[in-house]
Amino acid sequence: MRRRLLALLCVTASLVTGCGAVPGIGGSDRHTVTVWLMKDSASQDFLDRFTADFERDHPDLDLDIRIQEWTGIGEKVQTALEGEGEGEGEGGPDVIEVGNTQVPQYVDGNRLLDLTLESVAKWDKDEWLPGLADPGQRRFHQYGIPWYAANRVVIYRKDLFEQAGITAPPRTREEWLTATEKLNSGGNQGIYLAGQDWYTLSGFIWDEGGDLATEESGRWEGSLDTPAALRGMTYYQRLQALGAGPADADEEHPPQAGVFAAGEVAQIVAVPGLARAVVKQNPALEGKLGYFPVPGKSAAKPGAVFIGGSDLVVPRNTEQREGAVAVVAALAGAEWNTDLARTMNYVPNKAKLASAVAGEEGVAAMAAGAAQGRATPSTPEWAAVEADNPIKTYMTRVLGGADPATEARRASHSITQALTVSAG
C-alpha cells in the first residue's frame, strides 16, 4: 500500500515539477544507521572525523553512534538481538561492537547477519588476524568482522638488561629463559609472573601445538592433559620460578603494574599500555622501559599469544542492512582501521597493516605478536569455564608441587563438564 501511495504521489508531482523535486520522495530519502560502540574504544575526535567522512560519502545515510559501557553489555546486546526494547525497530542498533570472544554466544539462535559473501568478495577475509576472525566464524560462515586487536608483550627494564650484559631482547624461548635467569639476581626478580596467569600459559600451550579444549563431532572436551599442553605448562613452570610471583593469584592480585613500579622486577607480561600505569606510580622509570614480543620456540616468529579486541556484528533484525554493511566496511577497511590503530595504539585487523603502528615501540611489539594471536575455544559455553576457572586451580597446584599429569586430567575433566552442562 505504501509503495502504491508513493507511486501515485510521484505521478501527480511529476505533472508539476518532476518526481525528483518532491521532498522525501525517491533518491532524497535519508536513513539513520545506529551504531553501538564501547566506551574508550575510539576517541571522540576519531568518531567525529569518521562520521563526517562517512556521511559525505553516503549522502543518504546519517550515523547515530551511541557509546555503551562494558558492564552489563552482554544482556543489553542479547535483548537488542531478540528485537526487544531498544533493539526493536529503528531505535535499535544496526551495527554493534562486541568483544572478539563474545561473538559465539551471539551467533546462536540465528540472530546475526551472515557476512560471509562480503568477507570473501570484498574484505580480503583470508588476511585478517586469526585471533579476531576465528571467533567470529561458525561453520565456515563469518558473522563477526575484525575491527582492532590488543595482546600481551614483554615489558622490560632496559637499565637492568644492560646491567646484566643483555644487549638485545631474546627472540627464542630458550634465550628468554637464559636472559631471565641472569636478571634474577642481586635482589631483582628476573620476571614477575603470577601463578594463575592462564592467558600467558595459553600461549605456551598453543606454541607446543596444544589447546585448552578441542571439538569433535560437536562435543567439546578439555585438553590440558595432552602431551603438547603439558609441555606448555612445563615451560611456564620454568619461567615463573625465575621470580617471586604468587602461585595462588593472578596478575591482578596484586596488580602487577604496582609490583613492577616498585623497582625490583626486570620483566612482566602485559599489554603495552600498562607501562603508563607503571611510570605514573614510579616516574623514575620514565624512558627506562622497553618492549618485545613474547618469544617463540624459534627466532623465525614470535610466540603465540591470547589476542583480545573487538569485532563488528550486524543484527539480523536490522532494518538498515545496506547501511549497516557500509558502516562495517568503512570501519574495518584499511583507511579507517589504520587511522584507529594510530589514534588509539591498537593493532590493525590485518598483519599487512602493522606498518601503520611501527613508529611506536610497544604497539609495534604487540603487532608482531598479534600475527600469532589466538583466542579461547570458539564456543558460547566457554564463559562457563571462565566463571569458575579450573585452569587457575590447575596452575596453582602444579606450581605447588602436585603432579602435572594428574592435575591436568582433573582440570580437563572440569572443563569438559562445564562445556557439557552449559551446552545442555
**pLDDT averages per 10-residue partition of the chain, 424 residues:** 37 35 50 97 97 98 97 94 58 94 90 97 96 92 97 98 97 98 97 98 98 94 98 98 98 96 96 96 98 98 97 96 98 98 96 94 96 94 94 98 98 97 62
Residue-level pLDDT at 68 = 97
Q: Which residues contact 316 (CB under 8 A, 6 or more apart)?
A: 81, 110, 111, 112, 113
Residue-level pLDDT at 84 = 56
CA distance 149 to 129: 8
Tens digits of residue pLDDT in 208-225: 999 999 999 889 999 999
Residue-level pLDDT at 12 = 35
Residue-level pLDDT at 388 = 93
Collapsed DSSP state (helix, strand, coil) of residue 277: helix
Cell of 165: 650484559
Phi and psi at 373, nearest 5°, equal: -70, 145
Q: Which of 155, 160, 197, 129 is nearest to 374 (CA)?
A: 129
Cell of 404: 602435572
- Report CA torsion sign: 342, 347, 350, 356: positive
CA distance 240 to 14: 79
What is the helix (H) or strand (E) element at residue 53, kind and residue range? helix 44-57
CA distance 200 to 92: 38
Decide the pairing of beta strands 305-313 and 373-374.
parallel
pTM of the model: 0.87
Residue-level pLDDT at 423 = 60
Rg for the chain, CA atoms, rounded: 25
Residue-level pLDDT at 159 = 97
